[in-house]
Structures are given as C-alpha cells and as structure tokens.
Homo-oligomer: A and B are copies of this chain.
C-alpha cells in the first residue's frame, strides 16, 4: 500500500519501474533477490521496510546496482532496530509508530540527494528547503519534535537500538511461536518475512474472528482488528508495547482456542 502510494506520486515526475512485487500472493512475502529486476539506469530504488497491513518486513536491505541510492519509507519500523544509514540515500519515517505523535516526519538524507532533487516541485516538498533552513523554513510541529526528542532519550536510556531490536524480536517470537503451535490460529505472512512490528493472523472463520476481536476488546486487548484490505487480526507491537501486553494476548488466545475448538472442528465437517 505504501509503495503503491510512492509509485503514484513518482509517476508525474519520472518513469516508474516495478522491480518486484508480491501482489500475486496478496503481499504475503518480501521479494526474493531472484525476483528483483531493476531497470537499466534507476535514479533510485524505493522500498517500504515494513508492511503494516500484511505483516511483512525486510530483514536486510536489498542489493542495489552500484551507485544507485536506496530510498526507504521506514515509517513503521524506524528505530525498532539498528539501521545502517550508510546504505541509504534517503530514509523517511512518519513518527507515529515508534518515534512520537503523528504530524511529524523524520528524514535522513544524503547531501547529494538533497542537491539532486527537482527544483520544479513545490518549495515545501524540496528537501533542500528544509536542509538549508535547519528544518525551520516554516514554523515546524514543535510539540511533535519535542516528544520525538523525549522518545530518543528513552530509547537511549533503555539500551539503544540494539536493546530495542532484542526486545522486539522476543515479543514477536512469543506470538509467532504460539501461532505456529496453534491448530486454531494461523499466520498470514511467509515465515521468513514476518514483521516484528505487525503480527497478522487468522482464525478458522470470519465469525470466529469477529468473536475473538469482540472478546479481546472487552478484556482491554484493543486494536486487534486487521486492516480492511487484509482482514483477520493484527497485533501491532511497536517499541511502546511492553512484553507483558504480548503475554496477555497470548494467554487470551490460548483461552479462546480452548473455548472455541468445537466451533472450529464443526467448520471442518462437510456441509450436509
């Protein structure tokens, strides 16, 4: 969804080539190296590092042709793990997942990319405008920037990005391990591409999914409904989500599975 938006915005200003997509399998995986076909002389290569809707995540950056800048929308996994900024020409991340309140975007851009940008697009959309003015060309979203600063201090106090990565890995593992051993729930993303931020899973029927989400919400386990394009359930376990919340979710999933085994088994009977 997010790369499609990037494609849409790029089309009026340049030629767009889709180097790889997992659309044919409903975006259940990250493209394999062999799936990627770059155009002859790409100006840049764009990826979205984490797919919030289908629950997939790039574990490592794709190989790009020599000298071609990698551009990444890292909105939903920025600072959930270390990031090697030297591999990127441009990183942009809406704050609202791991960084702070909505309404502010973190951008890390190489100086040559600042210079290379078009001068015929609106002033506010040119990175050079903000680079030249230290992000003070306009009155910036001060509250959001302040909160981001506080979040950065919190990340450092908690042990930095390495510690965040370990914690997020462990949280996701708890959930995926249970989903894999469950005979009731199943994950939707391919195993090796599963997101550590958004854990997407299904129950045996849409009725049971609605029941699960309703009962979970009553227990204070809120926001579990999957995105409307994906259906099912989604647990978003960003930096701010503590391990005990994930433990509570797994405990509830176990309980729900026990109570609804009968209904699930009935679904497997052939209709009369």
Contact = CB atoms under 8 A, between A and B. Distances in A.
Nearest to A100: B143
A4 B103 CA distance: 26
A138 B120 CA distance: 24
A123 B140 CA distance: 21
Contacts of A242: none
A141 B12 contact: no
B12 A102 contact: no
B8 A103 contact: no
A141 B139 contact: no
Interface string A1-42: 000010011001000000000000000000000000000000
A96 interface: yes
A144 interface: yes
A142 interface: yes
A94 interface: yes
A9 B143 contact: no
Counting chain B CB atoms within 10 Å of each CB, the highest count among A96, A104, A140, A143 belongs to A143
Interface in A137-193: 138-144
A43 to B, nearest CB: 17
A101 B143 contact: yes
A103 B12 contact: no
B123 A122 contact: no
Contact of A122 (B101, B102, B121, B138): B121
Contacts of A101: 141-143
Nearest to A142: B102
A125 interface: yes
Nearest to A122: B9
Contacts of A125: 122, 125
A8 B123 contact: yes
A142 B102 CA distance: 6
Contacts of A120: 12
12 contacts: A5-B123, A9-B122, A12-B122, A96-B139, A102-B140, A102-B142, A103-B104, A103-B140, A103-B141, A103-B143, A103-B144, A122-B122
> Top 9 A-B pairs ranked by shortest CB distance?
A103-B141, A102-B139, A103-B103, A101-B143, A102-B142, A96-B139, A102-B141, A103-B144, A9-B122
